[in-house]
A and B are shown apart, each in its own frame.
Chain A
């Protein structure tokens, strides 16, 4: 459970509210709780006074914005007390600068005649004493979290120059006893919902580029079969169920085809297949195991794991066919290649001193950086802005999710009490 002793009164209030909400949410699934275990060396100090008239909403916005930004590890919150600053008034920027805030976000909640609300907000740079931008969003009363994530994305992008990821979703598998659930949650762990419940394992979820569908491997037929699952409707389609094993689905960037691993012709080998299950064709041939394909963001290459050279290493091959090139050379176990959204780096799992760790390879300089020091890390997955890497780890003998920034500084742990969590996949940015 939560230790409240060292929490500020503000955070205590937030936790109390969270607890009440959790108690109300009878149908809700077990909650992913997020623990920040490391932050950036220099965090940007920002003041976020409570939004004016926020109490008109059934549930607040300001605390969700604050939590998003604080959890990113890139920002520190400057406490300026419980006073609301209306969005319509330029605050005393020099005054907030002297209190340590380099930026300040002001906001107001305005009720509309149709029962909805307009949330207006402005961001100021206290050093340059300029407004960085303003927006207004209209929301139904219960859309407080979605609205707050949009506001946090706005602040993040204005202050870091990169898109935020607070409005994204994550997929992961929860195992509790004999029950497996493929769950979808907001990036902050809220709103967890089961997309699939099964008595058999589910592995390797992969988001379609449009964020509407998941490909995954389910063992419900007592063998691995690849499915595509449309989240809104729950409609499922078998994409690959050939004789033998079918696994490791990876979407092409245009969403039209998947790379999969099939054993229909012998060893585990790479194939391409259309997203409707038609047109299967082999894309690489080796005398060993080829698995864990992932497309480069430009759609030109498939990175994959192969033991053709004796030990499992990462290779890449042109999607159009051709000769495989070896990518990793250090160590005897390098698996699960996952290219960053900008295509410049590759996250993967490397075995070092008997432990499996998350590493990042700079594809131009060939420099490898090991990001974690845990024993059993698996399944790295980049945030859509490339800043964070979500992965599966272990804590206290249970599977947990963890996230580490691409520079290794920011660390978080996401866990569910009394359940194993594994196989995370970070979804794409929502289309706007």
Chain B
């Protein structure tokens, strides 16, 4: 078994790295390839402040996660009180908006899991709108398998990741 370690070179060399047209004996230049340089971009941090009414641990509104069974997208009865409380809060506070993020466990294709996570987010959105929350208050999106709450590869770990989270304006 062979291992070849090929070194990263200096940034100065990167800028000059390039190729050009084929030649014969006249000798063509190895020119800079247009796309050889890469400029690094750093995304800005998202700063968010929670709404204190929504973070009181004694208030059911502080509960934000709805968990799903394997390959399932229906809301289990134990999460009805949570859904009802948030629907009521949205109806009472029509200026508030929420983002629902659906999640999956890590098994399988990332993009297909993104689509499965969307179904979990949509399930919560539909339950909230049936209870009177306005469509305009809610955006349902998916994080797929990208933001696991648990990295344990156990049934318990996977179950933690099959969920939808509710975030209020300012929290995202």
Contact = CB atoms under 8 A, between A and B. Distances in A.
A224 B10 CA distance: 34
A379 B114 CA distance: 14
Given A138-B29, A212-B35, A229-B41, A145 B17 contact: yes
Interface string A290-322: 011000000000000100000010000000000
A431 B18 CA distance: 11
Nearest to B17: A146
Interface in A48-87: 67, 70-71
Contacts of A116: 29
Contacts of A31: 5-8
Contacts of B10: 24-25, 27-28, 142
Given A25-B7, A118-B27, A232 B139 contact: no
Given A29-B8, A191-B13, A245-B141, A432 B43 contact: no
Interface string A243-287: 111011000000000000101001110000000000000000000
B110 A423 contact: yes
Interface stretch (A90-98, A193-201, A339-347, A357-365): A193-201
23 contacts: A22-B8, A31-B7, A34-B6, A35-B1, A67-B6, A120-B27, A137-B28, A143-B16, A145-B13, A146-B33, A169-B35, A189-B6, A190-B6, A190-B7, A196-B40, A196-B43, A203-B111, A204-B110, A223-B143, A224-B141, A232-B37, A247-B114, A336-B112
Contacts, number: 279
Nearest to A134: B25
Interface of B: 1-14, 16-30, 33-46, 99, 101, 107-112, 114-116, 118-119, 122, 139-144, 146-147, 167, 172
Interface in A224-245: 224, 229, 231-234, 236, 243-245
Interface in A413-432: 423, 430-432
Interface string A387-417: 0000000000000000000000000000000
A188 B6 contact: yes
A77 to B, nearest CB: 11
A403 to B, nearest CB: 13
A196 B42 CA distance: 6
Contact of B1 (A37, A118, A192, A197): A37
A136 B26 contact: yes
Given A335-B109, A379-B110, 12 more contacts: A120-B25, A190-B9, A197-B43, A199-B45, A210-B35, A231-B38, A234-B38, A248-B114, A289-B119, A336-B111, A430-B33, A431-B34
B18 A231 contact: no
A248 B34 CA distance: 26
Which of B4, B33, B99, B108: most chain A Cβ within 10 A?
Answer: B4
A360 to B, nearest CB: 17
A193 B14 contact: yes
Interface of A is mostly: mixed
B49 to A, nearest CB: 14
Given A134-B25, A197-B40, A261-B115, A25 B3 contact: no
A150 interface: yes
A27 to B, nearest CB: 5
Interface stretch (A13-21, A99-107, A323-331): A13-21
A425 B40 CA distance: 18
- Those 3 A-B pairs whose CB atoms lie nearest each other, nearest first: A234-B39, A28-B8, A268-B115
Contact of A191 (B9, B45, B143): B9
A2 B110 contact: no
Nearest to B138: A243
A29 B114 CA distance: 29
A191 B17 contact: yes
A135 B24 contact: yes
